[in-house]
Structure 1
Amino acid sequence: MLANPQQKYQLSSIQTASPAKLLLMLYDGAIRFVKQAIVGIETKDWQMTNENLIKAQRIVNEFIASLNHDYEISKQLLEIYDYMVRSLIEANMKKNKEKAEEVLNHLTELREAWYEASKKIASTSGDHG
């Protein structure tokens, strides 16, 4: 049961999102979790670090699970995602800020690439929302 209007709005946003929008929302979540984990490393809040790196790792694992292997790019994405998962695990085990920042950079670059691709798709399909 959803308790407040914000939760209802968030659920509605997810349920009505296009696949491209949903992918961007997942990237935004992973980016947010890695940033929070970096704060956890900086403040030596290991529980915060662990929880957020695991959340980011779950999202990247979802990216892996949702790859369409009919496309050649999926092979390259799989390698990148796999590397990010291993880096998130290492960042968590060693409380390594640099590894977390490296993953953050990869996530940010991939999110931007997907955003640009979704704009092109939307402009060619007439879907502007």
Structure 2
Amino acid sequence: MSINPYQKYQQNSVMTASPGELTLMLYEGCLKFIKQGREAIKNQDRSTQNTVLQKAQTIINELIVTLDRKQPISDEMLPLYDYINRRLIEANIKNDPTILDEAEELVTNFRDAWREVIKITRKKQPQKQTGLA
């Protein structure tokens, strides 16, 4: 099975991403699956709904597992991640897109805050020399 150029690009993006960029990719993926779950609920496609919402849950669980518990903010993030996970389960069981709206808003807030952290971190890092004059 050959990999198309887009898949190769995605694979390389993941392999070369910093930990911060990987976290941002997780948030983006979770939002994508929540949107797909909302669409599946609307279309009454229970199989797709279940699959994509479980993928969103898997991402939230990965964020929980990789949370640096040494950082004080993790005490605030952990309960929110747990809450998002429970809401995803509830939305899936109840076929309720309004619950997904709430989960999506929380994940979007995390993503946007994380994006700002990456920007600030990049500004503080010294610029790499490219060797070009």
Q: TM-score, normalised by structure 1?
A: 0.94
Deviation at 1:19, TM superposition (A): 1.1
Q: Give the greater-gyration-radius structure (CA).
A: 2
Identity score, percent: 41
User: Hey, which bits of structure 1, 4+ residues long, moved more than 4 A?
Assistant: none
Specify the alignment match of 2:67 in structure 1.
67
1:2 and 1:8 in contact (8 A); partners too: no
Specify the alignment match of 1:109 in structure 2.
109
How far does the alpha carbon of each residue in 1:20-51 deviate from its partner, in whole angstroms, 9 at most, with x for none?
A: 11111111100000001000111111111111
Distance (Å, rounded) in 2 between the aligned partners of 1:111 and 1:31: 9
Distance (Å, rounded) in 2 between the aligned partners of 1:127 and 1:69: 30
Matched AA of 1:50: N
User: Is 1:97 aligned with 2:87?
Assistant: no
Deviation at 1:16, TM superposition (A): 0.2
Paired residue secondary structure (2:44): coil
Q: RMSD between aligned alpha carbons?
A: 1.4
For structure 2, the residue ranges without an aligned partner over 5 or more in a row are 129-133
How far does the alpha carbon of each residue in 1:78-118 deviate from its partner, in whole angstroms, 9 at most, with x for none?
A: 00000001000001111111111110000111100000011
Distance (Å, rounded) in 2 between the aligned partners of 1:59 and 1:6: 22
Specify the alignment match of 2:87 in structure 1.
87
For structure 1, the residue ranges without an aligned partner over 5 or more in a row are none
Deviation at 1:126, TM superposition (A): 3.1
User: Is 1:7 aligned with 2:7?
Assistant: yes
Q: TM-score, normalised by structure 2?
A: 0.91
Q: What is the aligned residue count?
A: 128
Specify the alignment match of 1:54 in structure 2.
54
Deviation at 1:127, TM superposition (A): 5.8
